[in-house]
Chains A and B, each alone.
Chain A
């Protein structure tokens, strides 16, 4: 990690605070209009998908319905749910867009998400052992973790995690790895499990029981379409999220280095631990602007569609302080992720040998 003195960190903090204050002072009708437009798009896609689905016995209609529902879930999870729960739109004082009461369209309960993501991940970003999002306690993505033979198969675990991503996320707070190690007891997690069953059950009931059953004659088609839409959302959101922190140059941190850290140090950690990818307006919308992961991690509660506007200023601050700004095309960043998952599945000696050879 780049070494900076306390006064340099203080200057960094001030530079970034200035960017933040400028946006805060400018929040208003434009932001409200944007999020309302996205919400209308989401509602139209979901209603469209659900209405078309029973006619899915016509193949092009099946494809359109599945895509429509899948897109609606992606937009709701990424650009609406995730961002609303960060408090990006609390200033609008609209009860249906309030961070603490919003419930999103995925198996993970919003309360669990607010604890594990908003608090743990965004506070302890990329600190090995503290940020359980780093590898999701399932993948070995840096040499801070000792290699074990089971890691050989971690690419398959990654594929499984991506396919069932909403269930992986919803069970994240169970901390299964700590239960296995005997650090906590399953009993301690009963309140969480009750919450998981309630929310996960609700989602499964909706997509895999209710909507297929109300259109009974075509139930298998509706079930297949709903499964397809959920799969589409799972693969996309998992990919976007992996590109945010597990790319080749995204840094990790030690708990020791971050004890009693200043706000400036926290900013530095967010800047160097996150990575962006480039793309069209639609790519940014569908990723909930997590394509601007660096901006998001520095300013998690600014409305996400402002990130492209402030990106230049954040990059300028990085240049000024000699901090790397990790970005690249989607393909390039994702290739880095896959490479990281694969290389760290190997024993250290073998990995060193492979990576030290000139490509």
Chain B
């Protein structure tokens, strides 16, 4: 093993000398891609094997990643990258299949809703044909099932069902022995994603209680209410998993708190691509400042809550970036001095040298970054 390791290390070193790049294996990609896109080494390719129309605006993509993909745990998400009009775009989606499907058949699924005006989701729905190849990053995220099994409550809304599908499939195959309840909010019955899979899960898995609630079918919207939680037996002993639109998440957090569910038993995961609103206490702080782009020898001034990525782009720079929402770390770079506020957490950084994500960092006074 050690010999093999030194061997690959030596080869990697040699490759760097010969091809002038940190990822020498990718040197041949432009040619390999022509032969078979699945041979590409620069990123992990995944072939779209099948597309299932779940609802009028949601599709499930069955992917076959290259064998070197490292796998995932139920509830995790991945970055995928696609080229839209010449530009490489990367977005984060939850995996909707179980790790067992990957282990046994080498397949994973992504269930993706078409977002109005969404560049990537619309492209995915309209453009790639079966057999097309997209880039697939390694799985990450901590929206994981409790080990050992404990009672669980899922509250999902709309396409927020995707990581829950992965969880439920996994629970069935691993015979997760604890009560499981799913409160699934959809606009209308037509919008139930993976309706048949859910029905099959309910009949195969006796521990599961499934409660689908349509919000927009009566005159008055029918949102999550206290009564819904009261019907869940042993609520306080449950691990609660939330995934859905912000309104639902806020409401659920509030009601769960009222019912005495502790914060540490509540887990939520990212959901939509909408720019997160700044918390009110952040608004009171003086944001913006003088930004030094050290490598480019440029300076810019910003006021308000523009992110460093936006400031850089407004100054004519084009730093590498991906999701623009703080998930994919493509835009991570060194901040050599100054303080930034993390747009997602509202937390201020330290003043010194550290790695930051440009897309969610707002300058708080003068900042120097190596861009």
Contacts and interface: CB of A to CB of B under 8 A. Distances in A.
Contact of A94 (B17, B85, B88): B88
Interface stretch (A84-92, A242-250, A327-335): A84-92
Contacts of B259: none
B27 A43 contact: yes
A43 B85 contact: no
Interface residues of A, number: 33
A90 B17 contact: no
B185 to A, nearest CB: 35
B84 to A, nearest CB: 9
Contacts of B18: 206, 210
B233 interface: no
Interface of chain A: mostly helix, strand, loop or mixed: helix
Interface string A197-208: 000001001100
Contacts of B31: 40, 43-44, 47
A119 B296 CA distance: 9
A103 interface: yes
Given A43-B31, A96-B26, A96-B42, A91 B87 contact: yes
Contacts of A202: 17, 20
Interface string A73-105: 000000000000001001111111011110111
Interface string B16-45: 011011110011111100100000001000
Interface string A43-72: 110010000000000000000000000000
Given A40-B30, A43-B30, A96-B42, A29 B86 contact: yes
Indicate the size class of the contact surface on chain B.
20 to 34
Given A43-B30, A103-B20, A28 B85 contact: yes
Contacts of A44: 31
A95 B26 CA distance: 11
A92 B87 CA distance: 4
B86 A40 contact: no
A39 B86 contact: no
A326 B3 CA distance: 62
A43 B28 contact: yes
A93 B17 contact: no
Interface string B351-371: 000000000000000000001
Contact of B86 (A28, A87, A95, A206): A28
Given A40-B31, A205-B17, A29 B85 contact: yes
24 contacts: A27-B86, A29-B85, A30-B86, A32-B87, A36-B30, A43-B30, A43-B31, A47-B31, A91-B86, A92-B87, A92-B88, A93-B88, A93-B321, A93-B330, A95-B42, A96-B23, A100-B295, A100-B371, A101-B22, A105-B20, A119-B297, A202-B17, A205-B17, A206-B18
Top 3 closest A-B pairs, CB basis?
A: A32-B86, A90-B318, A103-B20
